Amino acid sequence: MTKSVFPNVDFAPIAASFGFKAATIRTLEDLRKLAAKLRKPEGPTLIDCKINADVAAPFMSEFAQFEGRH
């Protein structure tokens, strides 16, 4: 399986400096705390969801197969 690792950039403060409502999510509890605000957002909103690098979406295997053929 191919894995992409990106630098840990916190995009929420950057978005907030542009006037967005912004938050960084690291756990499901963080997301639960924002649920009410996400149901009725006011203005532009950025949610920076940090995920576990050891978990890959199912489509990632399709990318790996494609790369193997080309």
How confident is the model at residue 43, as a pLDDT? 92
Could you tell me the residue range of the domain that residue 42 belongs to?
A: 11-69
Q: pLDDT tens digits, residue range 10-50?
A: 899 999 999 999 999 988 899 999 999 899 988 999 999 88
User: Is residue 6, in this structure, part of any structural domain at all?
Assistant: no
Verdict on whether the full-model pTM lies above 0.85: no
Domain count of the fold of the chain: 1
Q: Is 68 or 29 the better-scoring residue by pLDDT?
A: 29
How confident is the model at residue 70, as a pLDDT? 54
Half-sphere CA count of 1, side-chain side, radius 13 A: 12
User: Is residue 4, in this structure, part of any structural domain at all?
Assistant: no
How confident is the model at residue 29, as a pLDDT? 92
User: Is residue 59, in this structure, part of any structural domain at all?
Assistant: yes
Q: Is 57 or 38 the better-scoring residue by pLDDT?
A: 38
User: Is residue 38, in this structure, part of any structural domain at all?
Assistant: yes
User: Is residue 55, in this structure, part of any structural domain at all?
Assistant: yes
- List the beta strands (DSSP E) in the chain: 21-25, 45-49
Report the alpha-carbon angle 38-13-32, nearest 5: 30
